[in-house]
């Protein structure tokens, strides 16, 4: 198959007959961070370029058992650790709807393939923005599931306390159907009527003292939300009690213990730089970060049912932008959702956030049917 977007690392020959089920015959592209038995799985890295797992992650198996047809493994930044679609080994993923602009990362290949018609369904991961940002950049739909909602066995870890697996598609209906297969729960009925929606102009920070970006873009969606029966109010999200970055650094470093620093020269400059920075994290800083995240995850809002915000609030960077320069401003509306452990649904650049998957899916289905 022709892939003008560098969206796919490995193509897979389709089976003669897909299994019967609700996803029967739908073409599925799986992020190349997720194991598939007998199919090369590189994790976007030079180190694992020829790696072929002997097991299939349970999340993939659920979709295949429901009739989805695995067609390939999607391109991604090295080890899924970047907010742009750049990969020094397999090429930069190109944006089908905004040529020259980034696809976002790290589930870049999935979103580009969906936007470019190369697949029907995508399975991605999201640790800080990685399903929602590419979905926003490529005009598709993606769900960052509530932490723990979908099993992550067979997924190369980045930061286990934040890692999630979630469905990607071209419609909320497809994403909700995949979510139902992945979780074994019925998809929720569409609902916005009677809900209080918090308009989020500025996201909370990550506790490091950095001022987050602001955006008024969500105002464009207020009239339709209210027409669909929601009450929209201005709101803010509680800030974390301490710096959460050390947790990310500590767990990312642990995820690479087998190959870093012993094979440091085989990493890209970007990934190696991040790992070297992570080495500076102290035990005390990491312990304080775990406490801050635990406290934040105990909090639930009492003034709204869900939040609406953009996925990104800055001008979309070029595909060859410096990742270290843009990663924080580009992901600031998204990253907090992983830290607090909630669900986030991207419908293009609209983000719906709530403590539970069912809430954002119900709202997204209602929005899609407007």
In angstroms, the Cα distances linking 299 to 105, 201, 239, 353 are: 28, 20, 10, 14
Is 31 among the residues known to form the active site? Answer: yes
Q: What is the distance of C-alpha 206 from the center of its chain?
A: 17
Q: In sequence order, what DSSP letters do the residues of 181-231 get, joined into one string?
A: HHHSSPPPPP--TT-EEEE-SS----SSSPPPP---GGGGGHHHHHHTT-E
- pLDDT mean over 246-253: 98
Exposure on the CB side of residue 24, measured as CA atoms within 13 A: 5
Is 106 among the residues known to form the active site? Answer: yes
Residue 174's pLDDT band, with cuts at 50, 70 and 90, is very high
* Catalytic position from the list 130, 135, 268, 309: 130
Q: What is the pLDDT of residue 301?
A: 95
- pLDDT mean over 290-311: 97
- pLDDT mean over 325-341: 98
pLDDT tens track for 54-86? 999 999 999 999 999 999 999 999 999 999 999
pLDDT tens track for 112-133? 999 999 999 999 999 999 999 9
> What residue ranges do the domains of the chain occupy?
8-183
* Catalytic position from the list 45, 106, 255, 331: 106
Q: What is the pLDDT of residue 361?
A: 98
Q: What is the pLDDT of residue 2?
A: 76
**pTM (2 decimals)?**
0.97
Level-2 CATH architecture, domain 8-183: Alpha-Beta Complex (3.90)
Exposed e or buried b per residue across 185-208, where buried means at least 16 C-beta atoms within 10 angstroms of its C-beta: eebbebbbeebebbbbbbbbbbbe
């Amino acid at each position: 198959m022709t892939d003008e977007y560098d969206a796919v690392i490995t193509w897979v020959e389709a089976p003669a007959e897909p299994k019967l089920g609700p996803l029967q015959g739908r073409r599925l592209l799986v992020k190349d961070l997720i194991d598939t038995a007998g199919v090369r799985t590189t994790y976007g890295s030079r180190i694992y370029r020829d790696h072929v797992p002997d097991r299939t992650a349970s999340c993939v198996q659920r979709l295949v058992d429901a009739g989805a047809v695995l067609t390939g493994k999607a391109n991604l930044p090295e080890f899924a650790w970047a907010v742009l679609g750049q990969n020094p080994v397999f090429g930069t993923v190109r944006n089908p709807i905004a040529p020259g602009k980034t696809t976002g990362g790290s589930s870049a290949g999935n979103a580009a393939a969906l936007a470019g018609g190369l697949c029907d369904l995508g399975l991605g991961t999201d640790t800080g923005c990685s399903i929602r940002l590419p979905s926003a950049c490529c005009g598709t739909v993606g769900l960052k599931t509530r932490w723990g909602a979908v099993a992550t066995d067979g997924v190369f870890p980045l930061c286990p306390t934040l890692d999630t697996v979630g469905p990607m598609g071209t419609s909320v209906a497809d994403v909700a159907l995949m979510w139902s297969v992945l979780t074994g729960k019925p998809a929720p009925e569409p609902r916005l009527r009677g809900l209080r929606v918090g308009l989020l102009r500025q996201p909370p920070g990550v506790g490091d003292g950095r001022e987050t970006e602001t955006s008024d873009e969500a105002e464009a969606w207020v009239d339709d939300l209210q027409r669909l029966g929601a009450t929209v109010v201005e709101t803010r999200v509680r800030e974390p009690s301490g710096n959460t970055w050390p947790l990310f650094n500590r767990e990312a470093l642990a995820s690479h213990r087998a190959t870093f620093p012993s094979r440091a020269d085989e990493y890209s400059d970007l990934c190696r730089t991040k790992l070297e920075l992570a080495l500076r994290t102290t035990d005390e800083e990491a312990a304080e970060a775990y406490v801050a995240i635990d406290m934040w995850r105990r909090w639930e809002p009492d003034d709204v049912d869900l939040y609406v915000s953009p996925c990104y609030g800055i001008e979309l960077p070029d595909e060859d932008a410096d990742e270290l320069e843009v990663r924080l401003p580009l992901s600031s509306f998204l990253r907090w959702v992983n830290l607090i452990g909630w669900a986030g649904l991207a419908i293009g650049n609209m983000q719906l956030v709530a403590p539970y998957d069912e809430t954002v899916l119900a709202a997204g289905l209602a929005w899609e049917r407007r």
